[in-house]
Amino acid sequence: MDLEFGNYRLRRAERQLLGPKGPVELSARSFDILAMLLDRPDEVIGKAELFDAVWPGVVVEDNTLQVHISALRKLLFAELIATVHGRGYKYAGPRPFAVTADATASSRPSIAILPFDNMSGDSEQDYFSDGITEDIIAELGKYKEFLVIARNSSFQFRGKAHDPAEVAGKLGVQYVVEGSVRKIGNRVRIAVQLTDASSMAHLWGEHYDRELYDIFAIQDEITRMIAARLARQARTAIASRARARPTNNMSAYESYLRALQLAAVYDTVLEAEPFLRQAVKLDPQFAAAHAMLSFVESIKYYWDYNNPGHLHSGLEIARTALGLDPDEAYGHLATGFAHLYLRQFKQAEVSLDRAVALNPNDPFILSIRAIFLNHTDRPEQGLAEITEAQRRDPYAVGWYGDFRGVLLTTAGRYREAATCYAKMATVTPWSLIRLIICHSELGEIRQAQDVLARVKAHYRGLSLDQIIDTEVDFYQDAAVCSRYRAILDRVDKAQ
């Protein structure tokens, strides 16, 4: 299988590396080093192992490897290969994906919208410039013709001086959008430019000096202009998609922007609720705020499994949002999420498919549909969905590994799942259950018992049946649940 990473493809049969401008000149040894690092992107590979693989049976000087590593860094970009002092080297670029040798590279333009700089001289206004950036990402993400990098990854470059070519290399995109925002009283000044990172050509740029009331028109114009420019580059015809003004109340909109900043991070998502409730109080017709509130309400279930009331109230808020705007993707996401955990799978599928159709670039929407596919015993499809999500958010950590491990376990790929969990800084209780399954199915009974002891310590006072009811039965296909229950019972009795 060939490997794609960012804008590059490693073609094994031809021993060739293709980049945005065509073939990249690599020596045979450099090619072998790169291929080995790409094959094991999550591992540190020792120097001795690299020497044995690339120069088998040949004695070479110690600095020879460093020469080839330096050559790769110059040809691609410096941060592609990380030096782990005292241990070896590790691939640190965009996550590589296996593709068939005859597959054609995606013709869809890929783009990262970097967080607009806050030029107001007041750090308290960061939420405003960040929120405008997120709104543009969300709107551009609705274009199926583009691959848009998610907020979590593009915001890795917030507040840093950066070279567009370097950013494009790290995120694996062709185009980069940069901008700045200055909000003074009721006026807003926005500067924005679109750059083709491969040639460093400025494709489009504009300055706006408008009343704050015009912010939505500015965002629409920016989105349309970027789409038009990229469409021309890709020879794709795209119709104008001007959106309706989301709210006439600027105070409601500012509360919504504050909520977006919080909802984008798992640890602070629940803190978005008061701002969203303020937004819908100020403007009861603000569909996007209702939709995000329905998502926040529904996801509370992850913190309170024994209270399905969050799912029912999330559904009610989502109905309000979709009644105001049937095309609010997060209203459909919240609806699908609630139906999923209420085990109403047909309704969940309809809503989640609609959410993906409305915003095919949102990695969280893709991830929730992946979990839905897992719970309906389609783990391989779910793994493909997680891969798509991670392509759009290559810098996200934690929950991708968690979801991927769950899917790999359901797929019976136990060694891969165990390896996935081993790389996580913190393994969630529901994934510890899966890790027990993996060890048991691999014949590693002692390791399975050790993990079971950790689970029991976490759920001190609950019986094994109660733990299974909490972490297995409610989240899997019935046949899978029955098998997991039998395995866990067998591990427990073996102690």
Write the DSSP string, 394-432: TT--SHHHHHHHHHHHHTT-HHHHHHHHHT-SS--HHHH
Residues 6+ apart with CB under 8 A from 31: 10, 15, 17
CATH number for the domain spanning 386: value is: 1.25.40.10
Of the three residues 205, 234, 263, the one that is the final residue of a domain is 234
Residue 86: the pLDDT is 82
Tell how far CA 303 is from the center of its chain.
21
Report if residue 287 sits inside a domain: yes
Report DSSP state, residue 105.
P
- Give dist(CA 151, CA 134) in Å, integer: 7
Are 229 and 255 in a shared domain? no
pLDDT band at 149 (very low <50, low <70, confident <90, very high): confident
pLDDT tens readout for residues 292-304:
999 999 989 888 8
More confident residue, 33 or 140: 33
Residue 100 confidence (pLDDT): 55
Judged by average pLDDT, the poorest of 47-56, 171-180, 391-400, 435-444 is 391-400
Whether 391 and 462 share a structural domain: yes
What is the average pLDDT value for the chain, to the nearest integer?
Answer: 83
Element (H, E) at 89: strand 88-91
Residue 148's nearest CA partner among 109, 204, 201, 94 is 109
Rounded to whole angstroms, the Cα distance separating 369 from 367 reads 5
Residue 170, SS3 per DSSP:
helix
* 107-128 pLDDT, tens digit each: 567 888 898 888 877 777 788 8
Rounded Cα–Cα distance for residues 197 and 382 (Å): 32
Helix (H, G, I), strand (E, B) or coil at 47: helix
Distances (CA, A) of 28 to 13, 18, 213: 13, 14, 59
Which amino acid is located at 119 in the chain?
M
Mean pLDDT, residues 161-186: 82
Residues 229 and 249 in one domain: no
pLDDT band at 350 (very low <50, low <70, confident <90, very high): very high
Examine the fold and report which residue of 234, 261, 288 is the final residue of a domain before the chain moves on: 234
Global confidence as pTM? 0.63
262 & 311 share domain: yes
Residues 269 and 300 in one domain: yes
pLDDT, residue 166, reads 79
pLDDT of residue 316: 96
Higher pLDDT, 474 or 190: 190
Alpha-carbon span 246 to 262, nearest angstrom: 20
Which region, left, alpha or beta, applies to residue 6 given φ > 0 means left and ψ of -120 to 50 means alpha?
left
Does one domain contain both 248 and 227? no
Residue 297: how many other CB atoms lie within 10 Å: 25
Which domain CATH number covers 182? 3.40.50.10610
Per-residue pLDDT band for 474 (boundaries 50, 70, 90) equals low
- Work out the pLDDT band at 473, boundaries 50, 70, 90: low
> Residues of 379-416 as b/e, b for ≥16 C-beta within 10 angstroms?
bebbbebbbbbbbbbbbbeebbbbbbbbbbbbbebbeb
Q: Give Cα separations from 222 to 205, 225, 254, 482 (angstroms).
A: 9, 5, 19, 53
Establish if 471 belongs to a structural domain: yes
In a domain, 120, yes or no: yes
Q: Is residue 366 part of a domain?
A: no
**To which residue do tokens 């809503």 refer?**
351
- Show which of 201, 234, 267 is a domain's final residue: 234
Rounded Cα distance between 133 and 159, Å, is 13
Domain membership of residue 364 (yes or no) is no
- The answer to whether residue 6 sits within a structural domain is yes
The total domain count for the chain is 4
How many helices (H) and strands (E) in the chain?
Answer: 21, 14
pLDDT at 323: 94
User: Do 262 and 336 fall into the same domain?
Assistant: yes
Q: Are residues 215 and 153 both part of a single domain?
A: yes
Contact between 315 and 295 under an 8 Å Cβ cutoff? The reply is no
Q: Are residue 491 and residue 435 in the same domain, yes or no?
A: yes
Is the same domain home to 196 and 288? no
Q: Does residue 390 lie within any of the structural domains?
A: yes
Contact assessment for residue 34 and residue 73, using Cβ atoms and an 8 Å cutoff: no
Q: Are residues 259 and 350 in the same domain?
A: yes
Domain of 219? 110-234
Q: What beta strand segments (E) does 294-440 contain? A: none
> Could you give the C-alpha distances from 154 to 166, 257, 416, in angstroms and in order?
13, 17, 29
Asked if residue 369 belongs to a domain, the reply is no
Q: Give per-residue pLDDT as tens, 219-243.
A: 877 777 776 666 555 434 343 444 5
Task: Tell whether 413 and 451 lie within a shared domain.
Answer: yes
Identify the pLDDT of residue 33. 92
